[in-house]
Structure formats: structure tokens, C-alpha cells
């Protein structure tokens, strides 16, 4: 057997990984250089993707190189970029000015908890930028420099930025605890925007962005590939239920455009959730369509720059307009919903060519989406269940002891707590919560969001996933939990690794997989298999 490599889970011994040393180094953080050890950083963006997108400084380079091949006037570019953003974003300017370094955020970051590197304390992550801001944008910094925490922008500082702004998943957990609401996601977004001005990005972000720009989705699935994928799902659905579901793609005149993260097309367990959507729409007789052009709800632009969010997100409204749908329905995804909820309408709206969403099944008008005209599928299905429009047999999920992972963005950028719990409880008989400081607005990130969920970053993913994995293991041991439900495609991909490592035996699922398994469909054959094609275990005496 080959020795495991740093991009493999097995490389990391759990006993060693949990020996977390929280003692800060002897040298002050301003004079502690970055250590690019394998497993803790992500391969840089490939030149061809940057070129395709028209981004700055396309070239081949590595963070391990001494020379990062920066443009001649890189300092000027950064200062100009900071100046521009300080004048455009009150959040940025304010968050540079008002932090008192009380340290309330310090131990709220999953990377800090799991790694102990002080620069992963949100406050110090922000200080990396703030120290430069003070030196070049404030009077005191210009006058007395380091005595007020100011320092010069050097290539070493830039390397720190690259390392630590790609060690933040923009999960906003620290922002919940900050007495001034300082949001490290906002800092990281700015930091990454500045890095992008110099062509410093990671391929795990830029390749999906480039794919999405061209093919409509992060994975680069072309239209015929999308159709093949969905047909393949339809075959599995037929095997399980005996029902043939239709696959409308780019169908003009449909009532609803459905958009979901493309991760659900490719990898288990997301695929089962995707099948769940298809079955739900069939059962409810929804007049809907997929789009191959807007075949991505996720938006890795959020991990690049505001401009890139807008460039990618524009497709959704454009496609809704072209197809002439009435409103848009969105699948289970985390950062996708941050973009849809907090950015889409502002960036690419107004969506006045659409109608205020109204469920054709229950007649419920979704007033909360009156302007954006896009509804979360969990809101939609919760409403359908509440109005008894679905026949459900939760006992089909009796083999599962389910807990729910609140995905960061729906939790802290929407407040999406009760809807998913209502749906899970409607389709499962066995549900329990993880400890209260690890759920809802205090939920822990999977450790792989914001473009960090790649294997070469394995050490940081496992460390970042530790708090979540630890909570999962707690309910696994205490309540026999064997299934972790979530409403995020990145979660479905990365939490599988986190669970395999920290709570082996717990598998990850999307909520619509649970819904589809419990849903009694019109004309279905007797269900003996679930969507994973495993035999269904029914509990004893469960009504």
C-alpha cells in the first residue's frame, strides 16, 4: 500500500491533529512569516482561466516560489485598489476603523479552533489588512507607524494575505459575536479582491468561475452533458419508484425556472438530492424547466470579487427573461443563497419582468420574495407539506437517525432555521439537534466553503472541520445519529470527508433526498430501495 500523501485524509493522524497548541509564537504576529506547508494552501489559478475571464496578471506561478511574478507597480495597484474600495464600501472603511480588539471573535473561527494559528483569529486576519490601512491611510499610522499597529506593505505581507484570506471560508460566524458586527467575510472578500488585482487567486475558485462563465456551471458540464446526467438520474428514479419523470431543459413558457448548484449533478450524495427535486416536481405536477445556460446556482464569484458575482449571477435573470417564466425556484445551496438573497436583486435586478412567486400547489404567495422573485425550495416544500399536498411516509427513513447542520450562509445571511427543521421532522421520525452552540446562528462551517474545499488543502479542511465533526460525533455517540442533513452543495461534498474523519459512520444527505424517500408518489411501485439503491429499513410500530 502506498504511503498517504498530504492531500489524502489518511495522511493525518487524528491523535496528532488534535494536539492543538493555542500558545502564540514568541515572535509578534507582524514578524512571524508564513509557512506554506503542504496540505494548508491551494494551488494558484491557472493562467488560461485568468486570461479567459480577462483578469489581471495571468501567468504560471507557485506560492512556494520566492518571486511571485507580480506586476512592476504592484504596491500602487494595491493602494489604489484599497482607496477605491474604502470609498465604495462603508463596511470596509468602518471595519478598518472601529475594531477594539476585544478578542470576542478570536476563538469563534473553526480554523483557529482546529489549528491554533493565531492569524486565524478573525481579529488578526483583519489586522493583516488593517496594519497596511493604518500605515497608508491614517494620520496616526503615517506619523508613528508600528506604535499604532501600522506596517509597511511588503511581499511578505502579501504572502500572508494570500495564505490567510484563503484560509477563511467567509462563514460569518465571528460576525455574530462581534459587538460591532464586524464581518470577517467582508474583510476576506476585500482582501481577495485586492489579491485578484495582482493575479493572486486559487485555481479551485477560478476554474469553476471560468467554467461557469463559459458553460453556465462550475463543473463545465455542457448542455448535452446536463441532459445525459439528468436522464441518468431519471433511470435511477424509475428503478426505485417505477415512475418516469420528465426532464424539461430550456423550455420556453414554463411557469418556474429551477436553478440549483451544479455540485448536485456530479457527486454523491448531492446527486440523490437532485433526484429528490425531480421526483418532487413530478409529483406536484410543476410546470418548470431546467436551464443549461443558467445551470449553476452557486457562485464562486463570491470568492473572487463583487464584480465577478455580478458577471456570473446575471445569467439567472437573463435566462428567466428569455424563457418567459413567472418566477424562479432555487435548490439547496449555501453561498448560492447568500448571493441570491443579499446580492442578486441589487446587482442584476429589478426583476420586474417576473411575477411575485405564488405556489401553484397551495396558492401561497411568497411575500418574502416579492422583489427578488426567487424562492428557496425548502420554503416551497415546507409550504406544500404544511398544506398537506404531499403524501409522506416518514417510516421509510426509519433507518436514519438524523441531525441537521445549519449551513453558514442560509443561517447567518438569511436566518433559515425553522423551514429545514420542519421539513426534516415531517419526513423523518428520528431527529435530534447537535449542541446549541454549534447550530443555528452559531453553526460551524464545514471547513471547505469559499473555495477551500479541495484536496490539496486537506490539513486545513480537517482542522476547520473539527468543531463540526466533533459536534456530529457527540450526537453520534449519544443518540446514535448516522445521517447529517444539510442544505448546501459544498457541505454535501466536504462534510462527507469531515464525517469520515471525525465521526466515521455518519453519512451526509441533502434534505430532498429524505423528502423523496418519504414521499408516496402517485402510481409508484412498492418501494424497497431508497435513492441510494439500498434496502429501506422500516422501524417497528412507527405510525
Partner 1 sequence: MNVLVALTALLLLGGIVYLGVEIAGLEFLFGVIIPYAAVLTFLIGLVIRVISWARTPVPFRITTTCGQQRSLSWISPNRIDNPSTTLGVLGRMALEIFLFRSLFRNTRNELREGENRLVIGPSKWLWLMGLAFHWSFLIILLRHLRLFVEPVPQITLLIQSLDGFFQVGVPVVYSTSLLFVTAATLLFVRRIVLPQVRYLSLPTDYFPLFLLISIAGSGIILRHFIKIDIVRVKEVVLGLMTFRPEAGGLPVLFYFHLFLVSVLLAYFPFSKLVHMAGVVLSPTRNLANNNRRIRHVNPWDYPVKTHTYQEYEEEFRGKMIGAGIPVEEEDNG
Three-state SS annotation for 52-105 = HHCCCCCCCCCCCCCCCCCCCCHHHHHHHHHHHHHHHCHHHHHHHHCCCCCCCC
Nearer to partner 1, 73 or 80 (CB): 80
Q: Which is nearer to partner 1, 24 or 63 (CB)?
A: 24
The least distance separating partner 1 from the CB of residue 275, rounded to whole angstroms, comes to 20
- Between residues 166 and 366, which has the closer beta carbon with respect to partner 1? 366
CB of 182 to partner 1, least distance (A): 7
What cell does 366 get? 411568497
Q: Least distance (Å) from partner 1 to the CB of residue 459?
A: 17
**In angstroms, what is the minimal distance from the CB of 69 to partner 1?**
25
Cα separation of 331 and 322, whole Å? Answer: 20
Tell me which residue of 510, 495, 501, 441 sits closest to 271, measured CA to CA.
Answer: 510
In angstroms, give the least distance from the CB of 439 to partner 1: 11
Residue 45 or 113 with smaller CB distance to partner 1: 113
Q: Which is nearer to partner 1, 68 or 380 (CB)?
A: 380
**Would you say 141 or 269 has its CB closer to partner 1?**
141
- Contact 188/205 with Cβ under 8 angstroms? no
Task: Please state, in angstroms and as integers, the Cα–Cα distance from residue 526 to each residue in 242, 245, 283, 529, following that order.
Answer: 9, 17, 16, 9
Q: Which of 359, 183, 181, 195 is nearest to 280 (CA)?
A: 359
Nearest distance in Å: CB 506, partner 1: 16
Nearer to partner 1, 42 or 308 (CB): 308
Nearest approach, Cβ of residue 429 and partner 1 (Å): 22
Q: Which is nearer to partner 1, 241 or 313 (CB)?
A: 313
Tell how far CA 232 is from the center of its chain.
26
What is the rounded (10 degree) CA torsion for 180, 184, 187, 192? -170
Cα–Cα distance between 161 and 175 in angstroms, integer?
20
- Listed residue (273, 285, 297) closest to 248, CA to CA: 285
Report cis status (omega within 30 of 0) of the bond before 269.
Answer: yes
CB of 486 to partner 1, least distance (A): 18
User: Cell numbers at residue 481, please?
Assistant: 445519529
Of 42 and 226, CB closest to partner 1 = 226
> Mapped to the 3 state alphabet, what secondary structure does 141-182 carry?
HHHHHHHHCCCCCCHHHHHHHHHHHCCCCCCCHHHHHCCCCC
Query: b/e per residue, 443-467, with b = 16+ CB within 10 A?
Result: bbbbbbbbbbbbbbbbbbbbbbbbb
Report in angstroms how near the CB of residue 537 gets to partner 1 at its nearest. Answer: 30
Amino acid at each position: 500500500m502506498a504511503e498517504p500523501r498530504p492531500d489524502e485524509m489518511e495522511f493525518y493522524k487524528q491523535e496528532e491533529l488534535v494536539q492543538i497548541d493555542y500558545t502564540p509564537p514568541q515572535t509578534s504576529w507582524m514578524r512571524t512569516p508564513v509557512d506554506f506547508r503542504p496540505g494548508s494552501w491551494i494551488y494558484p489559478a491557472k493562467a488560461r482561466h485568468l486570461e479567459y475571464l480577462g483578469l489581471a496578471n495571468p501567468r504560471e506561478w507557485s506560492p512556494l516560489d520566492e518571486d511571485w511574478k507580480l506586476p512592476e507597480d504592484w504596491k500602487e495597484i494595491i493602494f489604489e485598489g484599497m482607496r477605491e474600495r474604502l470609498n465604495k464600501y462603508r463596511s470596509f472603511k468602518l471595519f478598518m476603523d472601529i475594531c477594539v480588539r476585544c478578542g470576542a471573535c478570536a476563538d469563534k473561527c473553526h480554523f483557529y479552533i482546529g489549528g491554533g494559528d493565531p492569524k486565524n483569529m478573525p481579529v488578526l486576519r483583519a489586522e493583516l489588512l488593517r496594519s497596511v490601512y493604518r500605515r497608508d491611510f491614517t494620520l496616526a499610522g503615517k506619523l508613528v507607524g508600528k506604535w499604532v499597529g501600522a506596517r509597511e506593505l511588503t511581499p511578505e505581507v502579501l504572502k500572508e494575505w494570500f495564505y490567510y484570506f484563503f484560509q477563511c471560508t467567509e462563514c460569518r460566524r465571528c460576525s455574530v459575536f462581534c459587538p460591532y458586527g464586524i464581518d470577517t467575510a467582508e474583510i476576506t472578500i476585500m482582501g481577495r479582491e485586492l489579491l485578484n488585482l495582482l493575479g493572486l487567486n486559487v485555481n479551485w475558485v477560478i476554474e469553476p468561475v471560468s467554467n461557469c462563465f463559459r458553460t453556465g456551471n462550475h463543473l463545465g458540464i455542457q448542455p448535452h452533458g446536463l441532459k445525459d446526467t439528468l436522464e441518468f438520474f431519471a433511470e435511477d428514479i424509475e428503478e426505485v419508484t417505477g415512475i418516469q419523470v420528465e426532464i424539461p431543459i430550456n423550455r420556453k413558457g414554463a411557469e418556474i425556472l429551477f436553478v440549483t448548484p451544479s455540485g448536485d449533478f456530479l457527486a454523491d450524495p448531492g446527486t440523490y438530492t437532485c433526484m429528490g427535486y425531480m421526483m418532487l416536481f413530478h409529483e406536484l405536477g410543476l410546470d418548470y424547466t431546467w436551464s443549461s445556460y443558467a445551470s449553476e446556482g452557486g457562485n464562486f464569484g463570491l470568492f473572487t470579487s463583487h464584480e465577478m458575482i455580478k458577471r456570473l449571477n446575471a445569467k439567472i435573470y437573463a435566462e428567466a427573461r428569455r424563457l418567459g417564466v413567472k418566477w424562479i425556484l432555487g435548490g439547496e445551496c449555501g453561498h448560492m443563497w447568500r448571493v441570491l438573497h443579499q446580492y442578486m436583486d441589487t446587482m442584476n435586478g429589478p426583476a420586474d419582468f417576473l411575477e411575485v412567486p405564488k405556489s401553484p400547489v397551495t396558492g401561497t404567495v411568497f411575500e418574502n420574495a416579492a422583489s427578488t422573485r426567487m424562492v428557496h425550495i425548502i420554503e416551497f416544500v415546507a409550504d406544500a407539506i404544511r398544506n398537506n399536498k404531499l403524501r409522506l411516509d416518514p417510516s421509510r427513513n426509519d433507518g436514519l437517525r438524523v441531525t441537521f447542520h445549519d449551513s453558514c450562509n442560509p443561517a447567518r445571511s438569511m436566518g433559515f432555521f425553522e423551514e429545514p427543521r420542519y421539513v426534516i421532522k415531517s419526513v423523518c421520525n428520528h431527529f435530534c439537534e447537535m449542541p446549541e452552540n454549534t447550530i443555528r446562528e452559531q453553526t460551524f462551517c464545514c471547513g471547505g466553503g469559499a473555495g477551500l474545499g479541495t484536496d490539496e488543502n486537506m490539513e486545513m479542511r480537517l482542522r476547520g472541520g473539527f468543531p463540526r465533526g466533533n459536534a456530529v460525533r457527540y450526537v453520534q455517540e449519544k443518540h446514535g445519529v448516522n445521517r447529517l442533513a444539510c442544505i448546501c452543495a459544498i457541505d454535501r461534498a466536504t462534510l462527507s470527508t469531515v464525517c469520515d474523519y471525525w465521526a466515521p459512520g455518519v453519512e451526509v444527505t441533502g434534505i430532498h433526498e429524505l423528502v423523496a424517500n418519504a414521499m408516496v408518489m402517485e402510481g409508484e411501485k412498492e418501494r424497497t430501495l431508497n435513492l441510494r439503491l439500498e434496502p429501506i429499513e422500516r422501524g417497528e410500530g412507527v405510525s
